[in-house]
């Protein structure tokens, strides 16, 4: 078996069956729909502000590897007043609220927004909730995430357990992009919105929201099957060596590929592409810098503890050596992937 044939077989092994995916996502959507309806009943302000939920991350890009039991959802809110995004450090914006009737402008405070959302969710979850979905009885519990930036709902049944993280987001049009033009075609920016996400970062203050445009990024890679296969394989390597690759997120690996999506010949051999992209990951870990894809200059690796980055670098180098040797040997591939 050649190295490329081995990788193709691993891709088959890493795939989640469409039936498993549907069963889990159907249950998660039904549970969240119920919670949303209860939130609307319990709090009139939430009823006015809530717009929609959207799946994000690996589900959106269809590169999810693990059992589909953990979901990240963007909870989109809309305010009844004008909100203008203002660029801060690369990758972050403040949201300036303009209150028409009192002629006042001020930056929205993340802590105040999260305290309000927490109080609304506590109205629905004074204690655990029992729900029956898809013939299964789930016990739902709620707790705020770290620093109140995410709201976590756990759903436990005798057949499966689900974990759902809710992140509050605020949507803007492409014409409201406050930075220099991103490496995304104008037609994509016109067609899809971008988001300001309330997500904690220890390096930012209480008025900073993280910029994200999952639909822009998805449009760039959705038809690039080789890129997505390479990303799946990189995630498989990470998952097989998770304890030795602490804090290495799927989005970090995706960003490595996004930076090269328009310049790499993706028609090349799958094994060559995997080795090349993993070597770029090693370079970023070694340099300690991985720029944000949309805004440049910022550094995703800043979110890693320095000691963990060193561990990741050492492990990634060992794996790169193994990949190169396997590609040359074309016969020894055991224990490389989960």
Six-digit token string for 226: 């080789």
Give the list of residues 6+ apart from residue 203 with CB closer than 8 angstroms, or none. Answer: 302
Q: Determine the Cα–Cα distance for residues 288 and 282; give it in Å rounded to an integer.
A: 10
**Every domain range in the chain assigned CATH 3.30.460.90:** 16-216
Give the list of residues 6+ apart from residue 239 with CB closer than 8 angstroms, or none. Answer: 65, 66, 338
Higher pLDDT, 56 or 332: 56
* The pLDDT of residue 91: 84
Backbone angles phi, psi at 146, to 5 degrees: -55, 130
* The pLDDT of residue 238: 92
* The pLDDT of residue 328: 84
What pLDDT, in 10s, does the model give residues 130-145?
A: 999 888 899 999 987 6
* The pLDDT of residue 331: 57
pLDDT at 332 over 60: no
* The pLDDT of residue 326: 87
What pLDDT, in 10s, does the model give residues 192-219?
A: 999 999 876 655 678 889 999 999 999 9
pLDDT at 291 over 80: yes
Q: Determine the Cα–Cα distance for residues 161 and 338; give it in Å rounded to an integer.
A: 22
Q: CB of 274 within 8 A of CB of 230?
A: yes
* The pLDDT of residue 10: 80
**Every domain range in the chain assigned CATH 1.10.1410.40:** 223-338
Higher pLDDT, 317 or 10: 317
4-18, 104-118, 277-291: least confident range: 4-18
Six-digit token string for 141: 């519990």
pLDDT at 62 over 60: no
- Cβ burial 177-195 (10 Å sphere, 16+ → b, else e): bbbeebebeeebbeebbbb
**DSSP output for 258-278:** HTTTTTS-TTS-HHHHHHHHH
| Residue 98, burial from CB neighbour count under 10 angstroms (0-12, 13-18, 19+) | middle
Higher pLDDT, 68 or 233: 233
Q: CB of 79 within 8 A of CB of 28?
A: no
- pLDDT bin (cut points 50, 70, 90) of residue 126 is very high
Q: Determine the Cα–Cα distance for residues 54 and 72; give it in Å rounded to an integer.
A: 9
pLDDT at 148 over 50: no
What pLDDT, in 10s, does the model give residues 17-33?
A: 656 677 788 888 899 99
47-61, 120-134, 254-268: least confident range: 47-61
pLDDT at 176 over 90: yes
Indicate the CATH number of 16-216 among 3.40.50.920, 3.30.9.10, 3.30.460.90, 3.90.1150.10: 3.30.460.90
* The pLDDT of residue 105: 81
pLDDT at 246 over 60: yes
Domain 223-338 architecture: Orthogonal Bundle (1.10)
- pTM (2 decimals)? 0.87
- pLDDT bin (cut points 50, 70, 90) of residue 110 is confident
Q: Determine the Cα–Cα distance for residues 320 and 244; give it in Å rounded to an integer.
A: 14
Q: Facing residues of 130 across strands?
A: 139
* The pLDDT of residue 69: 78
Q: Facing residues of 196 across strands?
A: 170, 211
């Amino acid at each position: 078996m050649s190295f490329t044939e081995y990788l193709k077989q691993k891709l088959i092994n890493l795939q989640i069956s469409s039936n498993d995916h549907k069963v889990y996502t159907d249950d998660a959507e039904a549970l969240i729909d119920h919670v949303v309806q209860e939130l609307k009943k319990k709090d009139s302000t939430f009823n006015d502000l809530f717009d929609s939920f959207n799946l994000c991350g690996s589900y959106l890009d269809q590169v999810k590897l693990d059992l589909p039991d953990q979901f990240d959802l963007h909870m989109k809110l809309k305010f009844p007043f004008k909100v203008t995004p203002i660029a801060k450090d690369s990758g972050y914006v403040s949201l300036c609220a303009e209150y028409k009737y009192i002629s006042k402008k001020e930056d929205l405070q993340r802590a105040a927004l999260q305290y309000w959302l927490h109080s609304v969710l506590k109205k629905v979850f004074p204690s655990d909730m029992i729900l029956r979905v898809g013939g299964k009885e789930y016990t739902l519990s709620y707790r705020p995430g770290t620093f109140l930036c995410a709201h976590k709902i756990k759903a436990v049944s005798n057949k499966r357990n689900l974990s759902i993280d809710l992140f509050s987001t605020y949507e803007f049009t492409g014409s409201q992009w406050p930075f220099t033009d991103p490496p995304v075609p104008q037609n994509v920016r016109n067609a899809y919105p971008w988001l300001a996400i309330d997500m904690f970062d220890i390096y930012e203050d209480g008025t900073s929201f993280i910029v994200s445009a999952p639909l822009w990024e998805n449009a760039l890679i959705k038809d690039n099957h080789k890129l997505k296969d390479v990303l799946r394989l990189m995630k498989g390597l990470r998952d097989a060596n998770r304890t030795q690759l602490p804090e290495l997120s799927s989005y970090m690996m995706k960003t490595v590929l996004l930076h090269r999506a328009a310049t790499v010949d993706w028609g090349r051999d799958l094994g060559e592409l995997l080795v090349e992209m993993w070597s770029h990951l090693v370079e970023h870990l070694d340099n300690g810098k991985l720029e944000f894809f949309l805004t440049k200059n910022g550094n995703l690796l800043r979110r890693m503890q320095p000691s963990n980055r060193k561990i990741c670098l050492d492990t990634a180098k060992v794996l790169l050596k193994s990949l190169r040797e396997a590609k040359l040997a074309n016969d020894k591939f055991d224990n490389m992937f989960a």
